[in-house]
Structure 1
């Protein structure tokens, strides 16, 4: 394009047609103008020629469908028809193209009518945005969501297996009671049968605990894997996308109507990064594996306080840089986080204290709030309430590692949850 002067001598304002052509020729965004109902290409800027990999002379005077053969199938030609006949601008987002690229690319179209002297459409202006990276990122995110769903399904299957084992255990217990009642007169035989059934019950209980322990380990391993995948893979993708959007924003000539959209896309990308990081931390905080229970809980309570706007005090004593067994650390961490979740959902508290203490004989985690409390004695007799508050799950976790759970609460006087685990190795 010849460099014609935009400001002519003696004029205070630029020559608008020349200015528009100047901006279009130097725009990094592909643009093309078509005329007539058959969409004959009358103008295209260098960016569009680079996008389709063809020279201007191969496109000027030919149908737009020659430049974009996929237009018939993906709806682009139909879009041009509508805009030409209605005069209303429209957009087409992330349409699949192959062209000469080694992988599938995705383009987004912004289309508006070119009006003639009587304000009737004589053609259509098309602006194309290469949305390939965003489209591939979205599809990769969907794939990761599917993996997470499959993981949840596998965990559900393990839970069903545990429930089935519980049912068999109850059935064995019922059979035991029936046999003892029927053979009271035959004391010797009844004792032999009873001892045999007790062995079965103990074996079944041992199997159940072993299954629950393996279930817990599998859940934590799956959480750890998904958390690291989110942190490493998703983090890299979000960073790369952010750099690409920043480069695109920097290359946009001001004033540009597209800069706000690019800024919004960068903000959305940053939000995706934060949400991915938050989800990874909720699944399995890296501090729990790398630094231990003390550091992981310190990080968690700080983040919990910021998100809930509830004041929280955290105190830890007796660790002196020493780590607990991994299973004990995981169990105490989950008990404390579940207790804080209950405070947020049900407690209506204004202040919470979390105390972590280690002695030569035991490790203790205590969560105390000043909320509305509840009748802990009546709660113990209600499986529904125990399940609703997650207390049964806390008890089960601690039982598997030889620990105990103590619940102290009265209506109007807050709640205290105390988890104790014996340290047999001192």
Structure 2
């Protein structure tokens, strides 16, 4: 009888455990940042060629009062290098990318390109744009893209854009608009990324349907990704509400107020992030309440000439009674994925690699963290994971 009870409990516990997103990544390294007067939103990340780049986003001045971009680099041995790059336009950065040869940054008006010369990155070129905010760089070709409603894009035929630029030849290879996805009006709520691109594929996802158009490098639709077995929540009022939204209105609050109830009624796609050239993570949700979500992660891969769902319905919730582990850390809609790395910001002010934390529960770690901040300023630990396909 005891054996039967034990077996039932064992099987029950197995069924309770659902795979998390971070179980598909392995812990690589972490970096502790002690920089005063910044928040999590002030940090932007990219990973290229074995280096972690961190940009401090707000407008910054050096000790002489010059406006600069404050860029930090950590190599594989976690050696820190700081670059103070001239900020000619005195603008905050919205996204960036960097490698050994280029530092590229975008603000609301333009893309500014800096090139490495001896000891730092120096101004090289700039491009004006219509409010694009996302980009990636590989082999000195950068892709610049967005699907968003703002003051510069709202009067266009479409709010979904893709631009390809050759940094070495200083020329635009491709500059096109794409059809808006269904539910693009939900981009009033950020962060939301309905377009993702690399050298091989451009993905454009509906916000309110589990449907992704796949474009080839010539900007031709050649595939569509759908998931029929998903528990996708819909509401009959969705289409009529979306049609009421005037994206050209100078009063966006009116549109946001109309859309907000939908966030508590329907499933939504929030983000897509390429892990590598042929694999991406999709973040989607079910409604918990207005502007409150149950988040799920799916991993898709282009394998044997077609898109395959590699992992589905992964979550990354926190069990405070669980023993501390890097793959059990809570994660929601705030992370960076590129070049097979996932980068996560935490407010833990400790070196989590120390042996003592392996024996703590998350509740105990939270208590220690709260005690620390009674006497100290906010600091962050940046955790870097590497994708491992299972």
Q: Is TM (by shorter chain) over 0.5? A: no
Larger strand fraction of residues? 2
- Alignment TM class, shorter chain as reference: under 0.3
Query: Which one has a bigger Cα radius of gyration?
Result: 1
TM-score w.r.t. the length of structure 2 is 0.24
Larger helix fraction of residues? 1
